[in-house]
Amino acid sequence: MDLNLLTIDGVRTAIQERQITATALAEAFLKKIEAEDEKIGAFLLISRERALAKAAEIDALADHGDPLPPLAGVPVGIKDVMLTRGLRTTAGSKILQNFVAPYDCTAVARLEAAGAVVLGKLNCDEFAMGSSNENSAYKPVHNPRDLTRVPGGSSGGSAAAVAAGMAVATLGSDTGGSIRQPASFCGVVGLLPTYGRVSRYGLIAFASSLDHIGPLARTVKDVALVLRQIAGRDPMDSTSADVPVPDYVEEIGKPVKGLRLGVPKEYFAEGLDAEVRSRVEAAIQTLAGLGCEIVPISLPHTPYAVPCYYIIATAEASSNLARYDGVRYGFRAQDAHTLSEMYRRSRDEAFGTEVKRRIMLGTYVLSAGYYDAYYLKAQKVRTLLARDFEQAFVRVDAIVTPTAPTTAFRLGEKVDDPLSMYLADIYTVTADLAGVPGISIPCGKTSEGLPVGLQIQGRHFDESTLLRLAHAYEQASGGFTF
């Protein structure tokens, strides 16, 4: 059985028909991780006991002929910003290096309730702050398509694990592009749900008004299957929306003919790699060939999205990360003689460079005398960005763009140039700021064999249309192997 080709339906069918046991499958994936992850660095922790215990539960159901849950025996990985009861959860940071969560993140609990087998915790940029997965306090992640390149960030471990066949599906988080950009760089499918569609309870906060949890997998149908399980209202998260959750798997089979697709001119301007443009434009023509109407549109406030994002996100990060003070939990500096020294040294010794940079930026824009000039103005711009999408969706059903301006760049290439790194999110931050859903799907590869991603954005809570379009394109293109 080729683990790289397994889908969720394939796993469930194989277990149901007793072609393989869930335990044997879990062991096979754990063995693959042990053999291959040293060169990739996708996993920070392997949860062997937890995985095998859940696999045994699934096998017991299959042995008795009982109905299997929707994700029965499916090997999954969890980004290490989601709490997992009894397992270390670090957020890729030294400050939480020994933190063991007392409860499960709602999304993780719902996955396991649906029968998924959690193999372990996945590497990420520290506190999800980064676009390359080089900011992890433990080790960088390497792109399985080219080990000299980054997998994207911050959910680099989540994308790399799927691309390398070390998990059938994974959970990531997206604050400014952290699911979609790694999906694009690694040649997998990654979905950003509408803000409020998936509970954030148990997600370690970076920027609370921007953080989303979403799935990554090799196929659109697998992403739909995972989203169907984790979506929906959660009383533990006041920001989760009480909006009906459709059957996404049923929705993806519906025709796309007649759908109007907006192509914003701002996403095809200076800075877009020529080969990326070519592959994305070809993908748009494929959708046109399926009967979609292509409509030129404008999202005029797009140029302000990156500065707007890096004011709002850093301001919220400054507030959220104030809780890591060396007192209640997490890393505490040794031999400090005063409370003030303990606070200062604990944060200085345990936070990485990028996290410190963003805390300082956020503290600055919230400070007296600068709040109105920066933070308040950014919130007004955010409203304008959201209005751009509202006005566009009066005319079109979805918006199609590149996911990222380039393919995966080389490890170390942008480490010393934060602004260049931030601009890697230029096409993804807008959806987070507006709260709309987006999906990245592979749409070909460059002459160097590097994956290119097509991004589709939609109306609030209309993930169904995105999944329909993505699935139709996937079927028409035959999918992509790398």
Q: What is the DSSP string of 189-250?
A: EEEEPPTTTB--TTBPPS-TTT-EEEEEESSHHHHHHHHHHHBS--TT-TTS-------HHH
| Per-residue pLDDT at 418 | 87
Residue from 132, 154, 240, 318 carrying the catalytic annotation: 154
- Whether 178 is a known active-site residue: answer yes
* Signed CA dihedral, 377, 379, 380, 382: sign only: positive
Residue from 178, 318, 346, 464 carrying the catalytic annotation: 178
Contact criterion met (CB below 8 Å) for 102 and 21: no
Residue from 79, 121, 221, 445 carrying the catalytic annotation: 79
- Whether 154 is a known active-site residue: answer yes
- Of 472, 477, 437, nearest in space to 254 by CA: 472
- Tell me: cis bond preceding 154? Omega within 30 of 0 counts: yes
Tens of pLDDT, residue by residue over 295-338, are: 999 999 999 999 999 999 999 999 999 999 999 889 999 999 99
| Per-residue pLDDT at 328 | 87
Q: Give phi and psi for 442, each to the nearest 5.
A: -65, 135
DSSP-derived secondary structure letter, 94: G
Q: For the chain, give me the number of helices (H) and strands (E)?
A: 16, 11
Residue-by-residue pLDDT tens, the chain, 482 positions:
788 789 999 999 999 999 999 999 999 999 999 999 999 999 999 999 999 999 999 999 999 999 999 999 999 999 999 999 999 999 999 999 999 999 999 999 999 999 999 999 999 999 999 999 999 999 999 999 999 999 999 999 999 999 999 999 999 999 999 999 999 999 999 999 999 999 999 999 999 999 999 999 999 999 999 999 999 999 999 999 999 999 999 999 999 999 999 999 999 999 999 999 999 999 999 999 999 999 999 999 999 999 999 999 999 999 999 999 999 889 999 999 999 999 999 999 999 999 999 999 999 999 999 999 999 999 999 999 999 999 999 999 999 999 999 999 999 999 888 888 988 899 999 999 999 999 999 999 999 999 999 999 999 999 999 999 999 999 999 877 66
pTM: 0.97
Q: Which residues contact 392 (CB under 8 A, 6 or more apart)?
A: 262, 264, 297, 299, 399
Q: Rounded to whole angstroms, how far apart are CA atoms 186 and 457?
A: 20
Q: Which position has the token pair 């709040």?
A: 371
| Per-residue pLDDT at 340 | 95
CATH of 1-482, one of 3.90.1300.10, 3.30.428.10, 3.40.50.150, 3.90.170.10: 3.90.1300.10
- Whether 139 is a known active-site residue: answer no
| Per-residue pLDDT at 86 | 97
Q: Where are the domains of the chain?
A: 1-482
| Per-residue pLDDT at 482 | 67
If one counts every other C-beta atom within 10 angstroms of the C-beta of residue 282, the result is 14
